[in-house]
Amino acid sequence: MRESATDLLVSLPEDSNITDLLLQMHRQDPSRVLYAVKNGSSWDDVTAARFLQEVTRLAKGLIGSGVRPGDTVAVMSRTSYEWTVADMANWFAGAVTVPIYETSSPSQVEWILEDSGARHVFVEDERKAGIVLTAASALEGEISIWLMNDGDGADTFTALAAAGTGVSDDTLEAARSTAKLSDTASMVYTSGTTGRPKGCEITHGNFALFGVNIREVLPEMLKAPNPSTLMFLPLAHVLARAVQVGCLHAGVKVGHSGSASDLMADLKSFSPTFLLAVPRIFEKIYSGAQATAEAAGKGKAFTAAAATAVAYSEARDSAARGGRGPSVALTLKHTLFERLFYPKVRAVLGGNARFAISGASALSPMLAHFFRGCGVTVLEGYGLTETTAPASVNQVSRTRVGSVGLPMPGTTIRIADDGEVLVRGAVVFKGYHRNPEATAEAFTDGWFKTGDVGDLDDAGFLRITGRKKDLLVTAGGKNVAPGPLEEKIRENRLVSQAIVVGEGRPFVSALITLDDEALEAWSRENGAPDGIPADDPRVQQLLQESVDAANATVSRAEQIRKFSVLPKDFTLESGHLTATLKLRRNAVIADYSDVVEKLYAK
């Protein structure tokens, strides 16, 4: 199949915008709990009435401070309730939100402020205010910096809201209703894996049409009794904000966790019914469960339980395609482990989660089957910043593990002659800000060129096989997609990251980093509490087994002949990961060029 499409399920008036979703929810049920704010170890509910009141007060403050419809207002903060209030207040004031990752450097902030024209910035704390001040020193004009957290627990928006005491309801309504579906709601800068970030103009229609349609696509999550989710992905990323808009329309209670160190405790205390995560979260949960079991002398039991979960999920997949479902023996084994093991996996996610959405990068099919076999269905989706994140997603009732699902409503996906994935429809962005050349280059005959390579099966499910720019061509002329090989290697509990290299080389190699926590636990299990080094033969043998497993999935010409373990893991701080934990391949290969050369030394 070369093209797959899904009709729009819910449409919206052209003269509406995202703020109408909040007003509609407030009219339907002002007492509906939309958010929860962490208060110590508990959570305080925020109703639609309270949220609307806080948003309108802040929006009036923005107008009173000189913000006019069409102005750009930046937000630099960790994921939080305050981020959400600021975002919606910007839209009520008719402004355009410009997210800035909280890990951004002064030079990155300077570029975003310069390119977007934002002269008003919400910042989380004094440290980020300092970064913005440093960035602003190189720019013309004054920058207004509004602190979101004053450190004493008071209403952090009180001072700004006070500036709006003279702003009438009519003035606010005129500003709120200015934007239409076709107008820009947010200017989201690409993560910049290569080159300078470009500002993607995401419209009110992109967000709002996603929001009202995703509820129909995933009713098991969003129409369930008392649905809730804990948002911990960066709200600076378009995926988190698109899902948050969907949660607003569906009346899902949303909590926020902005600290990796607090995440596990927040999941336990908030206990969401579904999650939005990236593959690295699922990898860490799996390896953590394996390490805990082996430390308790139950490694064999974990292996059996995991194998049963995967086999049970695979059998369900087979049944959905007309094949045999789980056998009686497999069902009995699954029932046994449901009593003894699987609830412990779900407990890590808070105990109530039965569904999760995985995005940003590829999820190992093994992990997808493992979690579904444990009672948590992980639905993989696909998209880019330019497609408002989700261009396709698996559905609870229509899932094919290994695929990234069917097109979102109002979206058509086409496979070009060279295998590139093309997208057209409701999710596709307006264009790159002040960059008509890049915008023109990104489209062909009205289709957005994703830069990814994939295929569509006979039912219209999309499968991504690699990144067009990432495809390696060996010296022998063999095209190699690194993604699937890397996914397979990362299934090893000791592995944190893997990058396949070999462009223009006689064979394919890999650079591997180890998970320090997993290595420490494995060392203790093997009688070495002081640790086992990466070059130990036992570690090398385990890694070789993972490489062999990856090689078994491809032809001989695509197989990895050599690998090298790097001395430290990739991090945001090292510049090797984006804020959504995607690998910056070019940066890694450049920084470790000496290691690569040694792999190919004669």
How far is residue 511's CA from residue 501's CA, in Å, rounded to a whole number?
Answer: 8
pLDDT tens figures, 189-213? 986 544 678 999 999 999 999 999 9
Q: What is the pLDDT of residue 123?
A: 95
What's the gap between Cα 525 and its chain centre? Answer: 33
> Which CATH superfamily is 276-467 part of?
ANL, N-terminal domain (3.40.50.12780)
Q: What type of residue sits at position 368?
A: A
Q: What is the DSSP string of 35-84?
A: EEEEETTEEEEEEHHHHHHHHHHHHHHHHHTT--TT-EEEEE-SS-HHHH
Confidence of residue 154 (pLDDT cuts 50, 70, 90): very low
CA distance from start to end of the chain: 45
- Range 142-156 average pLDDT: 73
C-alpha–C-alpha distance, residues 181 and 20, integer Å = 11
Instruction: Identify the three-state secondary structure at position 416.
Output: coil
Across residues 498-509, what is the average pLDDT?
88
Are domains 18-179+225-272 and 276-467 of this chain identical in fold?
A: yes
Residue 112: pLDDT above 60?
yes
Running DSSP on this structure, what letter comes out for residue 399?
-
Q: Which of 146-160, 232-246, 569-583 has the lowest mean pLDDT?
A: 146-160
Mean pLDDT, the chain, integer: 91
Q: What is the mean pLDDT of residues 307-335?
A: 91
**Which position has the higher pLDDT, 334 or 584?**
334
Q: Which of 115, 81, 82 has its CA nearest to residue 98?
A: 115
Cβ proximity of 302 and 340 under 8 Å:
no
Q: Are 99 and 75 in contact (CB under 8 A)?
A: yes
241 phi and psi angles, rounded to 5 deg: -75, -35
% the chain with pLDDT above 70: 97
Q: For the chain, which residues make up each domain, given as ranges?
A: 18-179+225-272, 276-467, 472-599
Tell me the β-bridge partners of 358.
Answer: 277, 380
In sequence order, what are the residues at sequence separation of 6 or more whose Cβ sits closer than 8 angstroms to the Cβ of residue 464?
362, 382, 404, 421, 452, 453, 454, 483
The whole-number pLDDT of residue 94 equals 98
State whether the Cα torsion 352-357-359-362 is positive or negative: positive
Is 90 exceeded by the pLDDT of residue 149?
no
CATH code for the structural domain at 18-179+225-272: 3.40.50.12780
Other beta carbons within 10 Å of 340 = 12
Residue among 291, 288, 270 at smallest CA distance from 280: 288
d(C-alpha 267, C-alpha 277), whole Å? 12
278 bridge partner residues? none
Q: pTM of the prediction? A: 0.85
**Partner residues linked to 202 by β-bridges:** 186
DSSP label at residue 362: P
Using the predicted structure, report yes or no on whether residue 75 has a pLDDT greater than 80.
Answer: yes
Residue 481 confidence (pLDDT) above 60:
yes
pLDDT band at 319 (very low <50, low <70, confident <90, very high): confident
More confident residue, 470 or 130: 130
CA 60 to chain centre: 32
Residue 15, CA distances (Å) to 113, 161, 182 in order: 29, 28, 9
Q: Which CATH class is domain 472-599?
A: alpha beta
**Contact of 210 with 6, CB cutoff 8 Å:** no
DSSP track, 266-328: HHHHH--SEEEE-HHHHHHHHHHHHHHHHHTT-HHHHHHHHHHHHHHHHHHHHHHTTS----H
